[in-house]
Chain A
Amino acid sequence: MDVSYSAKSKLVCAGGICMSYGELCTTSNFTFLKGASHPEELVTRAVELGLSAIAITDQNSLAGVVRAYAALQEIKRSITEDISIRSNEQIDHSSRQVSQGTSISRPELNKPLPKLIVGTRLVLEDSAVHWVALPKDRKGYEALCRLLTLGKRRAPKGECHLSSRDLLEGCSGMTLIAVPQEDYIDAADFIAAMARTYPSNVFLGCAPRYDGSDQASFDRCMELSHATSAPMVAIGDVLMHHGSRRQLADVLTCLRERCTIDDIGKRALPNAERRLKGEQDMARLFLNHPAAIRRTQDIVTKCNFCLSELSYEYPTEAANGESAQDRLVRLTHLGLKRRYPNGTSERVQGLVRKELELVNTLGFASYFLTVYDIVVFARSKGILCQGRGSAANSIICYALGVTDVGPETITMVFERFMSEHRGEPPDIDIDFEHERREEVIQHIYEKYGRHRAGLCATVIHFRTRAAIREVGKVMGLSQDVLSGLTGQIWGMSGNVVDEKRIRELGLNPSDRRLGQTLRLIGEVIGFPRHLSQHVGGFVITQGRLDELCPIENAAMEDRTVIEWNKDDIDTLGILKVDILSLGMLTCIRKCFDLITTHDGPELSIATVPQEDTKTYDMLCVADTVGVFQVESRAQMNFLPRMLPRTFYDLVIEVAIVRPGPIQGGMVHPYINRRQGKEAISFPSVELEAVLGKTYGVPLFQEQAMQIAVVAAGFTPEEADHLRRSLATFRKMGTIGTFRDRFINGMLERGYDTGFADRCFTQIEGFGEYGFPESHAAAFAMLAYVSAWLKCHHPAAFACALLNSQPMGFYAPAQIVRDAREHSIEVRPICVNNSNWDNHLEKRTDGALALRMGLRQIKGMRKEDADWIVNARGNGYHDIPSLWHRAGVTSGALERLAEADAFTGIGLARRDALWQVKAIRADTPLPLFNDPIDGEAINEPTVTLPVMNLGEAVVEDYVAMRLSLRAHPVELIRPSFSNITPHAELPNVPLGRVTVCGLVITRQRPGTASGVVFLTLEDETGVSNVVVWAKVYEHFRAIVMGARLLKVSGYLQREGIVVHLIAQDIQDMSYKLSELGHPMDNSVGETLPQADDAPRARASTSAGRAFHPRDQANKLFPSRDFH
C-alpha cells in the first residue's frame, strides 16, 4: 500500500481521448437534514465540471429528481435561447423576504450537458449495505416506484421500511450499486446474493474518503468485488455541490442529531471532500483502479430512463362505449340547452365549437369529464361547489355546471389559457364546502382506488423564523438572542436580518460566530425540511399511480400522498384536479337551506337574481361584514371609492386589492380614471383591445402576459416561459434577463419608461400572488351571492355565517353586532330554545329573530348539545332534570350556566352556577336518580351577591366571546372625558379627536411599508386608525399588546371613509379589570386572521392590572400546598 497518487494521471488521457466520469451517487437536500445542496445546484455544478452524467439518489425517495430535471431543462433552454441566468436573489415565499440563495450562473460550456439519471439510495432496515438503484428504462423505473411505495405504505409518514428480501424480489430493470457502510466482510453474502439474482446488474460502489486509508480500502473493495463478482465502480457519495457547503452540512447534522455545533465532535465532516468532483480529480484518486472510473460510463450508457418518458395516461372517463370526446360533446350540448332555454346565440355556438375542437386536439376531454363527475357527485350529496381557474371559465364548464360565471362576463379568450404550443394541462380548481370536502376526497379515493389517485405533496421549506431559531440554537446563541432575532422579524422587510436590528439587540455584527450564524441562516432558508400534503391537488391516472411516483402515507388518516409537489407535476405535464375547501360555500349553502325552511324560495348560486340594485347600493356604502372577499378593512375602504354597479366591477374589486396591483402602482391610476379625475387613455391602439375593460390599467395576470406579447414583442411561447419563470423557476432567478428584454421591447415600440417599469413590477408581483381574471370572476360570483343574501335575507345570512365558523375575517362578536345594527333581534342562548346551531325563530310580527345556538359557548361539545336537544321534550324546568334526562357531564352544565343559558327556567347566572357546582359526579347516582319528595337533600338557601353589569358582560365574553348586554366601552365611558363615540366620527368637525375602543383588527400589510392599521370598536360602531411607522416605533408595545386603546389624532375623511391618523396612543386595558371580574382578559381577544401581532400575547394577558402575586401564582403552583 505504498505510493498513492501521482500528480498528473497519464492513463486517463491516453491517446488524447479523455475518459469521462459520471457521478452515480449524490445526496441532495431532499434527503432531509442530510444533503447540503439543492438538486438544482448539483446539476448546475455537474454542468460546470463537465461530468458525463449525474444521478440524484436521495435516501428512499425520488422527491428531488424533478427539480434536477427541471433545472437541466432550464439550462438547456438558456443555452439554446441564449438567455443568461444571473439573478442571485431568491424569495422566501412564506415571509416574503428576499435572500441571497441558490444561484445558477451560466456554465462555461465546452462539453455536452450531463445526462440526468433518476435514482434512489435504498437504505434497508436489516442490512448495513446501502443500494444505489438506477432504473435502466421505464420498466425499471416503475419497479423502483413500486418498491418505494411498498416500503412507504407500511411505514408511518416520512419513513420507508424496506428489507433485504424486498430488494431480492423487486429490483428488476435497475442497475444496483452496493455501498457497504461498515464491514466489507459482512456485506459479502448479501451482495453475492443480489448479484446472483440480478446478474450483470449489480456493482460494488467505492467512494474515496480522503482519510489516509483510501488506497487500502480500494484494494479491499477490489477483493470484495472479486469475491462477489460485482464489478467495482467509482462513486463520489456526494453530499454537497461545492466544498463551501461543509459548514451547512455540519449544521444539518446537528439539527438531525439534536446537538449544538460545539458538541458535534466526530459527527462533523472531517473535510469538504464529499463534494461533487470532476473527472480529473476522480481519475487521480482512482489511479490504480482506472476500470472503476471507466465503468461509470458503462452504467451511464445503460441507464436510459428520462423523466420525459413518463407518458402519463389520464383516466379515459369513457363510459358505456362512448369515447370521452363524444361524451363531453353530448354533455355540453345537454348543458347548453339547460343554460339557454331559449336557444343559443350564434356567438355561443361558435365558441362551443371552437373550444370543443381545441379540447379534442389536445386530448383533454377526459379531464373535463373527471371534473364534471366530481361536481355531479358533490351535487348529488348536496355539497355546494364551484369551479375556478382559467379553464373553468370556459363555456364548456359553464354548460357542464362546473361554474356559474357566464363566459360572456369575462374578457378572456379560451385559447389564451389552453393553447397548443403550451402543451400544458388546463387548470381547474374546484372549491367545496369546507366542512364536507373530506367526503369528496374519500369519494375520489374510492372511485379510482388508492393505486390510481393520490394527493400532491407540498414541500415544507425552512422559513426565516424557523431557520433563525434552529440554526441559532445549533450555533449556541442563547435563547435570549434568538427570541430577540425572531422577535424582530415581525413586520420586517428586506433582507434576512439587517445590521441595524442586530445592533439594536445589543449584539456585535462583526462577531465571527454571529456572522457565521447569519450566513448559515441565509443558506438554509429555502431548504426542504419535510413533505406535507397539498391542500387538495389530486393526481389521477389510468394505470397504476405507484408506477409513476412513489406513494406515501400522509399524517392525516386515510390520505395517501405522492412525493412530488405542484411545481414538479407541472414540469412533467401531469394533470391534477384541485379539490379545495372554502368556508363561504358552507355558509352560502346553510343560508340557502335556512331560507327554504323559513318559507323562502329555493335558491342556488345560479338562480340568485343577478345585477340587483339594492345589493350594489349596500356594497357602495361598504356595509360588508361577512361578505366574501370584500369584508377586509382594505376592501371596505376601497368599496366607497370603487362604487361597484355591475358584476364586472366586483371582479375588479376582488382583483385590485392585492399585492400585485398595489406593488405595481396600478390602484391609483385605475381609481382616478374610474372616478373621472383622469382621462382614460391607452398607451397604444393594440393595447386598447387588451386593457379596454380596465380603463387602460393592467390589473389581471392575463393582461400582463398579453402586454408582453402585444407591446413587448414576446412570442406567446416566450410570454409563457416568462410566466413559468415567475411561477416555477423563482428559485433560479431568470427574471433579470426578461426584465431587460421586456422593457427594451416596450421602449422600441414607443411606450414610455414609466409605464414599462410599472408593468414589469406588476408582473413580478403577480409571480408571487398571481391573480388571474378567471379566479377573480369566480370569487366575485361568491362575493355577489353572499352580498345579495346579506342584503335580502340578513337574518339567515348572519345565522349561516355564525354556523360556518371558523371562517372569514370577523369574530362572532362582530357578526352579531352587525346583525343587530341591521335591526335583527338576537336572542340569547337558552337551554329550552337553543339548538347546537344558531337558528331562526319567527317573531309575532312575522320578522325573523336569530336565536344563538349552543355552539357559541366556548368549550361546549356537540355531543352534549345534541343530548340536551334530543331529551328536551316539553322543556326542562330545573337543572337536575336536565342533568338526569340529558345525562351530560357536570363540566357541560357548568359551561351552560356560565353562558347564562338557564335564564329561561328562572335561574340567574350566578345562582345557576352555584347549583351546578354542587353537582360533582359525572353521572347521577342511582339513588337520587328520581328524587321523591322529601328524600332529596335539602341544602340551606344561599343568597349570593347580585352580579353587576360589568361582571355580567365579562362573563358573557368568557363564555361566548360576545355579549348581548352591553359593550365594555359603554361601561367604562363615564370615567373618560372628551372621548368621541365612533358613530359621531363622520359628523364631528375635522381636527384633533380622541377615541377609545376594543381592538378588533391589527394589521401590518407587507405592501404598506411599516404602517399599522387598527380597527377599534365601541358600543356605537367602529373606527379606523392609521398608525404611521414613526408613531408605531414610539408606541410599539402598546399597539402590539393592548386590548383597549385610547387614540388621539387627526381625522381624515374621503367620501364616507373616515380615518384617524394616530398621534398619541394609550393602553387602557387595565380599565377592563375595573369591570370587577377575574377573567377580564377574555374581553378583546382577536382572531388570528384579523391580527398580525404575535400570538403569544393573548396568553400573557399583558396590560391587565395584575398584582404580582397573582401572576406568580399562575406560573408556579404555590409550593405551600402539601
Chain B
Amino acid sequence: MKRRVVSLWFPSMSSELILRKEHYEGPFAVVAHIKNGNRLLCLSTMAEQRGLKRGMGLADARSFCPEIQTVEHNLQADVAFQNSLVRWAKRYCPWVGKSGIDGLYLDVAGSAHLFGGEDAMLHDMRARLIRSKLTVRIGLADTVGAAWALARFGEGCAEGGRTGQAISALPVASLRISAKEDTTLQRLGVKTIGQLANLPRATIGQRFGPSVLMRLDQALGDQSESISPEANPQTYSTRLTFPEPIGLAKDVMAGVERLLLRLCEKLTQDMMGVRVLSLICRRIDGADQQVELRLARALRDQQRILPLFKKGVDGIDAGFGIDQLRLVATQVEVLQVEQVAHSQTQYNSDGLHDLMTRLGNRIGLENIQRFLPAESHIPENSFIVSPAAWSESVGSWGNVNPRPIRLFPPEYVAARGHRPPNRFNWRAMSFTVGRIIGPERIAPEWWLEDENWRHGVRDYWKVETLEGHRLWMFHTPQNPNWFVQGVFA
C-alpha cells in the first residue's frame, strides 16, 4: 500500500509554549545563545510586526524595539513538549516520528478513513491544535520529503500519486538541502523543484554531489525514507499474582524477595539503580495497599533492599487477603558497575547509607542532614546544611582559622573599647578574661544584603576566661558593641 505522510510544523512552538502558560503584554521573543551571541529564536506576532526577525541579535533587537520582553530558550521544555505532541499524534496513527525540533511526521496510510477521510482528519488536527493555541502548518503527500516541503512552503495536500506536480512549483529550498546549495542553485537560475528535476541528472551529480539528488529523489518518492517512531521509555516494574490470596507478612516478604530479584536483574542489565520503590499490594476486595521505600542512595542490591521493606510490610492491612504484588521502581538513577574493594583503607559507607535509609523511612529522608563547607569568609555563611541523601561528604574542611565548635546568633555583651573587656557578663554568668588572641577582621560581603551584618565590619577575638570557657567574641568598631557568637570546645 502507498504511504501517505502528514508533516506538521509548529513555527513558533518555543514562544507559544511559554505564552500558553504566561501572558506577556507587548512584543515577546524567546532568546537562545547561538553562534556566540544571544539571538531571537522565536517571536510573537506582535514582535514580528515591529520588524524583528528570527536570528537577529538580541542587542540589535533591543535597539530596534526597546520594550521587547524576552525569555531564555529552554531546550528541555521544547523537547518534552514535542514528546507530548508525539503522544497526542498517536491518536491518528501509530507511526509518528519527530521532524527537527519543531515538527512531526505521521504515516496515516490506512488510518485516515477512521476519521472520515484525509480532509476530515487534517481538519480535525488543525481544529484541535488551534484550540490549544498552537500555530501549525500542515502538509500531506506520498513522501516524507514532499510533505515536509508542503508544510513549510505553502501548506497543501498532494493527491496520491501526484506528488511531482504538487511540489514542482515550490522553491528548491523546500528540498531540505543546505543553505549553501540552495543559494548556489538559485544563482544558477534553478529556482523551483520542477526546474531542478528537468536538468540532466548527471550534471547535477557532477556539481553538487549526491546530497541534492538524494533529497530530490526522496521528495519524488524514487528513494525511500523511513519514519522512525519513538520508543517508549523503559519502565522498571515487576508483578506477582497468587493463585490463592495471602495474608501473612512473612508471605508478602517472600513475594517481595522474588520480585526484587527480577527487578534487580533488570536494573543491573541497564546499569541503573533505584532511588524510590513502591510496593503495591492488591487486595481481593479491590482496596490497594501501598508501601513506599526511599533510599539514601541509588541501589540495586536486593540483599540490602529487602530488609528495608520489613517495617513497611508489617504495617500492611491485608484485609481478606492479597492476590497480587507489584513492585515499581518509581525513581531510578544511572548506577555504574563498581569495583568491589577488599582493602581496609577503602572507606565503606554502605552501613551509613543503610542507617540513613532506615531512619529516613521513619522521620523522612530529607530530615537527615549534614554540614558541608561553603566558600565564604562570613562565619554564618561558611557552611551549608544539606540533605544527607542527596549530597556527598567532603573530606576535610581545610580551614586555616579554626572556628568554634558551636556557633549561635550573636549575643550582646555590655562592654566598651576596642579590646575585649577584662570582666563581662554573658548568659547571666560573669567572666574574667585570661588570654586573648586576635583580632581577625571580617567585613560583610558587600554584594549581599545581610541583615545580621548591618553593624558593619567585625573584629573577632578568641577569649579564654579564667572560668574555663573559650569564647568567640567580636567587636563592631563602626558601631561600637560587643557580642559573643560561639564557644570553642
Contacts and interface: CB of A to CB of B under 8 A. Distances in A.
Question: Taking each of B38, B70, B419, B437, which has the highest tally of chain A beta carbons within 10 Å of its own beta carbon?
Answer: B437
Given A265-B375, A516-B446, A939-B202, A1114 B59 contact: no
Nearest to A911: B188
A770 interface: no
A1100 B57 contact: yes
Interface string B162-204: 0000000000010010110011101111100001000110110
Given A917-B188, A917-B207, A1118-B176, A246 B62 contact: no
A942 B199 contact: yes
B449 A512 contact: yes
Nearest to A263: B375
Question: Taking each of B148, B184, B188, B446, which has the highest tally of chain A beta carbons within 10 Å of its own beta carbon?
Answer: B188
A1116 B41 CA distance: 10
A1094 B60 contact: yes
A475 B183 CA distance: 44
B229 interface: no
Contacts of A1104: 53
Given A246-B443, A480-B38, A1115-B35, A487 B63 contact: yes
B123 interface: no
Contact of B443 (A215, A266, A271, A1111): A271
A483 B200 contact: no
A262 B460 CA distance: 24
A947 B189 CA distance: 7
Contacts of B35: 1115
A747 B178 CA distance: 75
A1037 B64 contact: yes
A1096 interface: yes
A2 B419 CA distance: 13
B202 A940 contact: yes
Contacts of A1100: 53, 55-57, 60
B54 A270 contact: no
A913 B62 contact: no
Interface in B16-75: 31, 33-35, 37-39, 41, 50-51, 53-60, 62-67, 70
Given A480-B58, A940-B203, A1110 B173 contact: yes
B401 A212 contact: yes
Contacts of B60: 487, 1041, 1094, 1096-1097, 1100, 1102
A273 interface: yes
A486 to B, nearest CB: 7
A843 interface: no
B48 to A, nearest CB: 8
B59 A1109 contact: no
Contacts of A1067: 51
Give the interface residue-count category, chain B.
35 or more
B68 to A, nearest CB: 9
B153 A1109 contact: yes
Interface string B414-449: 000111000000000000000111111111011101
Nearest to A211: B440
B187 A1117 contact: no
A349 to B, nearest CB: 63
Interface string A1032-1074: 0000111011000000000000000000000000010000000
A265 B55 contact: no
B101 interface: yes
Nearest to A1038: B51
Contact of B186 (A213, A273, A512, A1077): A1077
Contact of A479 (B58, B179, B203, B436): B58
A267 B435 CA distance: 31
Interface in A691-724: none
Question: Taking each of A3, A1100, A1106, which has the highest tally of chain B beta carbons within 10 Å of its own beta carbon?
Answer: A1100
A1078 interface: yes
B348 interface: no
A939 B51 contact: no
B63 A490 contact: yes
B152 A913 contact: no
A244 to B, nearest CB: 10
B393 interface: no
A918 interface: yes
A272 interface: yes
A988 interface: no
B62 to A, nearest CB: 5
A210 B182 contact: no
A1112 B54 contact: yes
B234 interface: no
A1113 B173 contact: yes
Interface in A204-249: 210-213, 215, 246-247
Interface string A255-284: 000000111111111111100000000000
Contacts of A210: 439-441
B189 A246 contact: no
B53 A270 contact: no
B204 to A, nearest CB: 10
A322 to B, nearest CB: 61
A382 interface: no
Contact of A7 (B100, B418, B462): B418
Contacts of B38: 479-480, 483
A910 interface: yes
Contacts of A1102: 51, 53, 56, 60, 64
A942 B203 contact: yes
A898 B31 CA distance: 36
A212 B462 contact: yes
Interface in A1076-1120: 1077-1079, 1094, 1096-1097, 1099-1100, 1102-1104, 1106-1120
A491 to B, nearest CB: 10
A1111 B207 CA distance: 25
Interface string A888-931: 00000000001000000000001001100110100000000000
Contact of B178 (A269, A479, A513, A1117): A1117
Given A955-B187, A1078-B182, A1040 B66 contact: no
A108 interface: no
B192 to A, nearest CB: 10
Contacts of B418: 7
A639 B184 CA distance: 47
Contact of B376 (A266, A1041, A1099, A1121): A266
A480 B460 CA distance: 42
A1067 B173 CA distance: 27
A958 B147 CA distance: 34
B39 A1119 contact: no
B323 to A, nearest CB: 49
B289 interface: no
Contacts of A211: 400-401, 440-441
Given A268-B445, A1036-B64, A1078 B176 contact: no
A4 interface: yes
The 4 closest A-B pairs by CB, nearest first: A265-B375, A212-B440, A1037-B64, A483-B59
Given A270-B377, A1102-B53, A1102-B60, 14 more contacts: A210-B440, A212-B440, A270-B443, A271-B443, A490-B63, A917-B207, A940-B203, A1108-B54, A1109-B152, A1110-B173, A1113-B173, A1116-B101, A1117-B178, A1120-B99
12 contacts: A213-B400, A213-B437, A266-B376, A479-B58, A504-B66, A939-B203, A1036-B64, A1077-B187, A1078-B182, A1096-B37, A1109-B153, A1115-B54
